[in-house]
Amino acid sequence: MTDSDVLAGHLQELRRGTVVMAALATLSRPTYGYALLESLEQAGFSVDGNTLYPLLRRLEKQGLLVSEWNTEESRPRKFYRVSPEGEALLKALLDEWRTLHISIEKLR
């Protein structure tokens, strides 16, 4: 295993742990899945659709997202937005993220 393979594996783990925060932070306004993928990509946060769509369903089931179908266009799309519970979770996760960052900086 090369150094780049090791780094790639750890970066994948780090991203996997932050994809919930990225999705919740992006969904302050109603957005459909593919547009969310594009927004995340433009922000430098590449996520595969096979990761994102199950995550959206899970977050909705947990009450952290709400969704609604838009059938006004030729192709129906499911729009997601963060719920008040999702906003509270995002705040808590971001607070913890900042605390962890500060702790790691103290260790350097």
- Could you read off the pLDDT of 82-93 as tens digits, one per residue? 999 999 999 999
* Total-model pTM: 0.88
- Tell me the pLDDT tens digit for each residue of 29-39: 999 999 999 99
Residues 107, 17: Cα–Cα separation, whole Å: 21
Specify the 3-state DSSP secondary structure of 80. Answer: strand
101 band by pLDDT with thresholds 50, 70 and 90: very high
Q: What pLDDT band is residue 58 in, cutting at 50, 70 and 90?
A: very high
pLDDT confidence band for 11 (50 / 70 / 90): confident
